[in-house]
């Protein structure tokens, strides 16, 4: 309190602006420092009496090293632009596990991209909110009869909730009568962290795509390991999976337990057999992303004695001589969704990227 009184008496005598600035700094200091002063003195006293153990675990040492490395990169103008403003706490264990400087740099860039994306989204949201408020203001200041959706309009507004109900009704129908498609999510060990992330986002896209389809499939996520990181990320990406009735089946059981073996067909690019579409069959899609493809699903299907098939791309689409038909998960589901309604491979393969041209012969 003594310092406060001093500064007040000082204020009465101060006239010029530079002195006023100094006074401002003093009062800021008092505002921040004085309330916590007793804590700071007591902790200093404690420090004098006690010795604190230094955390010299390898993780902590590596973290210190990484922090220094980030400081170095920060000081360089050419590298600082690729650095995130802060490393989220949950990303530290992974960052520490990265062995090389180059890998860490790539990860910084990834975090920076995430940060930029979040910023962009925030700005977009703010612009949308502004536009919305302006629209409301404009409409309220209008004394005439209001013609727009939500007021007087020829068509009724279809609300998001109604659309959601419609899609859920469609999905419920698929659960009762639709064809079964299995995602075998048993490949956590086959993927690195980046492939994990891609796989989760692909499965999320598959869920969304199936929900919006005219005739959706009944999706099954089989061989789920509820405790692993992959499943946690999947639930984070598809929060619907947590609900009481998610309208898809999520189970730790194998598809062998759920369906008769003779109905199962493992879809794999390494199979020699071209798929003949049958709505009674249960198709299994490997829930994995691999940058360096290995015949993982083919081996698994052979081990389990399940039929295998590949999409007949080479038969119906013009492809390169060295074409390796390794499609990503969501492309496979897209083709199957199309095929289930049109029953024509040529039309179904039009869902694939541009470079696969249609063959002229049938
Ligand atoms: C990215 S691929 C993974 C390929 C992986 N090397 C494997 O062993 O299956 C993901 C899944 O999509 C399906 N898939 C990809 N291309 C396919 C094709 N041409 N024919 C049938 N299924 C395919 C398979 O079920 C595969 O497991």
**Is residue 16 over pLDDT 90?**
no
Lowest mean pLDDT among 144-158, 178-192, 213-227, 319-333: 144-158
Residues 223/297, Cβ–Cβ less than 8 Å? no
In angstroms, rounded to a whole number, what is the distance separating the alpha carbons of residues 65 and 71?
10
Q: In this structure, how many other beta carbons lie within 10 angstroms of the beta carbon of residue 99?
A: 7
Q: Is the CB of 323 under 6 A from ligand 1?
A: no
Residue range 282-311: average pLDDT? 94
Which carries the bigger pLDDT value, residue 75 or residue 320?
Answer: 75
Q: Is the CB of 267 under 6 A from ligand 1?
A: yes
Model pLDDT, residue 140:
77
Residue 288, class by beta-carbon neighbours within 10 Å (0-12 exposed, 13-18 middle, 19+ buried)? buried
Residue range 336-358: average pLDDT? 83
Q: Which two tokens stand for residue 278?
A: 């049958």
Q: Is the CB of 196 under 6 A from ligand 1?
A: no
Domain ranges of the chain: 58-157, 160-355
**Is residue 152 over pLDDT 70?**
yes
In angstroms, rounded to a whole number, what is the distance separating the alpha carbons of residues 108 and 111?
5
Q: Is the CB of 326 under 6 A from ligand 1?
A: yes
Model pLDDT, residue 242:
85
Which carries the bigger pLDDT value, residue 228 or residue 358?
Answer: 228
Quickly name the fold that domain 160-355 has: Alpha/beta knot (3.40.1280)
CA-to-CA separations, 273 to 83, 261, 283, 326, 338, in angstroms, rounded: 49, 18, 14, 15, 21
CB neighbour list of residue 107: distance below 8 Å, 6 or more residues apart: 91, 94, 95, 98
The pTM score is 0.70
Residue with the nearest Cα to atom 20 of ligand 1? Answer: 310
Residue with the nearest Cα to atom 12 of ligand 1? Answer: 329
Residues 101/69, Cβ–Cβ less than 8 Å? yes
254-277 pLDDT per residue, tens: 999 999 999 999 999 999 999 999
Q: What band does 46 get if pLDDT is binned at 50, 70 and 90?
A: very low
Q: What band does 160 get if pLDDT is binned at 50, 70 and 90?
A: confident
Q: What band does 57 get if pLDDT is binned at 50, 70 and 90?
A: confident
Q: Mutate which of 189, 286, 292, 308 to test ligand 1's pocket (most atoms within 8 Å of Cβ)?
A: 286
In angstroms, rounded to a whole number, what is the distance separating the alpha carbons of residues 306 and 186?
16
What is the average pLDDT value for the chain, to the nearest integer?
83
């Amino acid at each position: 309190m003594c310092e406060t009184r001093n500064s007040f008496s000082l204020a009465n005598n101060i006239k010029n602006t530079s002195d006023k600035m100094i006074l401002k700094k003093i009062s800021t200091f008092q505002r921040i420092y004085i309330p916590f002063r007793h804590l700071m003195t007591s902790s200093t006293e404690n420090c004098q009496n006690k010795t604190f153990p230094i955390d010299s675990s390898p993780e902590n040492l590596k973290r210190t090293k990484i922090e220094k490395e980030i400081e170095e990169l920060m000081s360089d103008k050419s590298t600082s632009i690729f650095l995130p403003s802060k490393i989220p706490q949950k990303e530290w264990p992974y960052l520490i596990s990265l062995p090389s400087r180059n890998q860490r740099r790539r990860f910084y860039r990834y975090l920076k991209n995430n940060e930029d994306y979040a910023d962009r989204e925030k700005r977009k949201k703010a612009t949308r909110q502004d536009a919305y408020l302006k629209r409301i203001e404009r409409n309220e200041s209008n004394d005439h009869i209001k013609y727009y959706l939500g007021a007087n309009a020829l068509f009724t507004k279809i609300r998001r909730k109604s659309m959601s109900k419609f899609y859920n009704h469609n999905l419920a129908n698929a659960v009762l009568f639709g064809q079964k498609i299995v995602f075998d999510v048993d490949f956590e060990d086959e993927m690195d962290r980046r492939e994990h992330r891609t796989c989760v986002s692909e499965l999320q896209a598959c869920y969304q795509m199936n929900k919006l389809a005219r005739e959706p499939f009944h999706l099954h996520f089989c061989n789920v390991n509820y405790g692993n990181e992959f499943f946690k990320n999947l639930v984070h990406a598809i929060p619907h999976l947590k609900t009481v009735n998610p309208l898809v089946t999520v189970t730790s059981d194998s598809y062998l337990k759920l369906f008769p073996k003779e109905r199962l067909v493992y879809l794999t690019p390494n199979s020699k057999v071209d798929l003949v579409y049958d709505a009674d069959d249960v198709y299994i899609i490997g829930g994995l992303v691999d940058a360096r493809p290995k015949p993982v699903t083919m081996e698994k299907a052979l081990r389990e004695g399940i039929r295998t098939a590949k999409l007949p791309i080479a038969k119906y689409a013009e492809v390169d001589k060295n074409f390796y038909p390794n499609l990503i998960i969501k492309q496979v589901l897209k083709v199957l969704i199309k095929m289930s309604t049109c029953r024509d491979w040529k039309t179904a393969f039009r869902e694939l990227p541009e470079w696969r041209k249609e063959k002229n012969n049938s």
